[in-house]
């Protein structure tokens, strides 16, 4: 990727721009990759593990919710 055609190796996140060309190859053991496309949100991005939010504070709140059992509920409830 990039002007120097640097290979990306796992684990990696590569962000391409309009008109970029993606070339993928794998060794004898095969390989896997995920290619996703979407319109830019033009919003800030904070990420941690599997979580993607807009701010670090939202990530921290999500981690607290996960630790206290409030992140996933069997039934929706009003608060």
**Residues 6+ positions from 32 with CB-CB distance below 8 Å:** none
Tell me what pLDDT residue 6 has.
Answer: 80
Q: Give pLDDT, residue 77.
A: 65
Q: What average pLDDT values come out for the chain (79 residues) when binned by 10 residues? A: 73 84 87 86 93 96 93 70
- Strand pairing class (46-48; 51-53): antiparallel
Pairwise CA distance, residues 42 & 35, whole Å: 20
Query: Is the Cβ–Cβ distance between 58 and 52 less than 8 Å?
Result: no
What is this structure's pTM? 0.51
Residue 2 confidence (pLDDT): 58
Give residue 76's pLDDT.
Answer: 67
Q: Say if CB 21 and CB 27 are below 8 A apart.
A: no
């Amino acid at each position: 990727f990039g002007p120097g055609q640097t290979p990306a190796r796992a684990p990696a996140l590569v962000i391409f721009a309009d008109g970029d060309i993606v070339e993928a190859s794998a060794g004898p053991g095969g390989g896997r990759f995920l290619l996703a496309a979407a319109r830019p949100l033009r919003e800030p991005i904070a990420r941690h593990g599997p979580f993607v939010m807009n701010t670090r504070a939202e990530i921290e709140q999500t981690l607290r919710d996960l630790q206290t059992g409030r992140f996933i509920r069997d039934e929706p409830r009003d608060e």
